[in-house]
Chains A and B, each alone.
Chain A
Amino acid sequence: MANLKDLRNRIASVQSTQKITKAMKMVAASKLRRAQEAAEAARPYAERMENVLASLASSMVGQVGGPKLLAGSGSDKRHLVVVATSERGLCGGFNTNIVKAARARINHLIAEDKDVKIVTIGKKGAASLRRDFGTRMARHFDMSHVKHLGFADAGPVTDYLLSAFEAEEFDICTLFYAKFQSALTQIVTVQQLIPASYDADNVTDLGGAAYDYEPDENEILDQLLPRNVGVQLFRALLENAASEQGSRMTAMDSATRNAGDMIDSLRTTYNRTRQAVITNELIEIISGAEAL
């Protein structure tokens, strides 16, 4: 039978764990709100940019020799997979889900005999991908110094991607991140960054008129496409930040509840044991008295 003192210690330790998970949940909830606001605030820019890109791209359709960032390099042999995860753990299935999706994709590409290189943002995903694809890791970006994600924080990654594409180190670049839907659901999303993907339905309706381009289409595309990579990346990182906090909040909430359940059942055992001990002592006394 469990010792009373041991049970008391267990209860105390589960209680302090519960306090910690509860605090983490509160912190995640407040960070989530901020991350969500940031993600929403960034939406107009990305949307407008997509519109302009879609208008331009659809006017370029059918033309030969468009910019490579839009038309592609003409091959699909070498893939660059960018996996964005968090810098901290204890956020439920957040990192696992992203890594799982990325891993499935990478294995699929390898099976198709493609060249795959991996770039990671955030150390959680990097650690588990390095185990499986150690030789394919091209670069890792550390985001642990970033407190509030700003556009400039996406800069180094964008610069790296663009210069690697310029140097023809890869043909296609896809990005893995988790899109924030609610604190309960985050959707792992795969987005093709290079060549640029766009939704042709987004074209602004000009009511028959056509855009004038200043200086001209190509000049604008040349400037817009690299920026678009940066903006899409930045948006993905913002979504990821919100998802991470949402996932952590949910995970910590259920941890807190679990701890509560555990405390209840430990209490029951404790009380039962205490009763048993008392009963035992009584029996001993009574049988001792009867023996006299």
Chain B
Amino acid sequence: MEFMDQIFVNLKSTVLTLAGGFLPPWAVILLCAAISLGVIAVIGPVTMMYLTLIERKVLARMQNRIGPNRTGPWGLLQPLADGIKMLTKEDIVPKNADRIVHLVAPILIVIPALLVFAVIPFGKNMIPADLSVGVLYFLSISSTTTIAIFSASWASRNKYSLLGGMRAVAQMISYEIPMVLSVVPILLVTQSLSTGAIVRAQGAYGGWGWFVFTPWGFAAFITFFLCAVAECNRSPFDLPEAESEIVAGFHTEYSGMKFALFYMAEFMNAFTLSALAATLFLGGWQGPWLPSWAWFFIKTYALIFIMLWFRGTLPRFRVDQMMNLAWKFLLPLSLINILVAGFWHFANPPLAIGGSIAMLWASGWIFTRLNRDYTPEKRTYLFGE
């Protein structure tokens, strides 16, 4: 058990010990960093490649289809085939496009998506860089995606792209606020911004002390997850690339590998945001029986599955409704949730549980009431003879 749990850590230290036999100490430190970097550089794109396959398979099953199954067993080589196709496609740049920005935007969008892998605790002792400001680092790096998306849309000189870019900016900035605020209760309780420390704080009750089991943790998890779905532009918040309305949104004018980079960034964001949600609320690698890294991947992929499930079932929001949800519901709820977390921390257990559930329920009810115009109407249909 312990062996399986630490197998990757031990592997790395063995390599480093062996290398230490004939390399100077500074080279060993470089090698240590290089191994972590190499692993991230491989995991990121491979995750993206296989997420496309998983998405297609899962959606196909939801839609009474089989999904890709021609390339390799269960279509396992499909991502490779797609990659080759993307690489060999013609790279088309519109005549009036801003060529430099058009080229740089897809690169800019991938870099933050890869950078945030650094603070994700993949397992016990398996965090590439346990920064003391890990969560802050993650949120600030991932927020730069907005710039890349907007420059892509602006540089394309296409009206659909422009509309998509406008939507993307409005959406991502709006949803960042409740997302950051929903993380605040966690920071209050754990008194740390380090992702490693946050996971260790959830180790109570034999690995079951996940924050999602507390009332404020649950509310924050829902808020965070909805915002995460909106942040990586996935259904039902896929307005920036709404196929039925604005063709492909901000990446309408991209083809070949540039387009693939947008896709890569989107899927890696989906993965890292799910991983962060799992880290903050679902106990990260904490859990009984299985190795820590197995728990981490199970939780992350469960959240990704929920994202795919959304995509397979839900229609899309309209722009104003999407903004309403962020500003009128999620933002006040996450603000109140900070108070609730403080109340939970200082009140005695029975009062804390009852009081915080009551506060959250009441505020949720009030916010739903305030947005009454958006609740469905009941209608009666007459029949003519």
Q: Check if A and B associate.
A: no
Chain B residues with a Cβ under 8 A of chain A: none
Chain A residues with a Cβ under 8 A of chain B: none
